[in-house]
Amino acid sequence: MIKEDLKIKLQENHKTFIDFISNLSDDLFIKSKVEKWTAGQQLEHIYLSVKPVRQALTLPKFLLLVLY
């Protein structure tokens, strides 16, 4: 898979997930099965995981090389 295909697939998957989460009732958003994360916790986890990666990818390449 080339970089552009991967980018498109990630965007599609995130949109699908956001659409799914957006259509949940408040009760389902906070409902958890035994020892499983709620939809809200899943959403928070994805947000917190993607945020630093997105920030890093906006840095100039030379700066990434210096830092890492």
Q: How confident is the model over 13-66, as pLDDT tens digits?
A: 989 988 999 999 999 999 998 889 999 999 999 999 988 888 887 888 888 788
Residue 47: which domain range? 3-67
pLDDT for 48 equals 94
pTM over 0.85: no
Sequence-distant (≥ 6) Cβ neighbours of residue 10 within 8 angstroms: none
- Rounded distance between C-alpha atoms, residue 65 and residue 46, angstroms: 26
pLDDT at 1: 66
Give strand ranges (E) for 1-68. Answer: none
Q: How many domains does the chain have?
A: 1
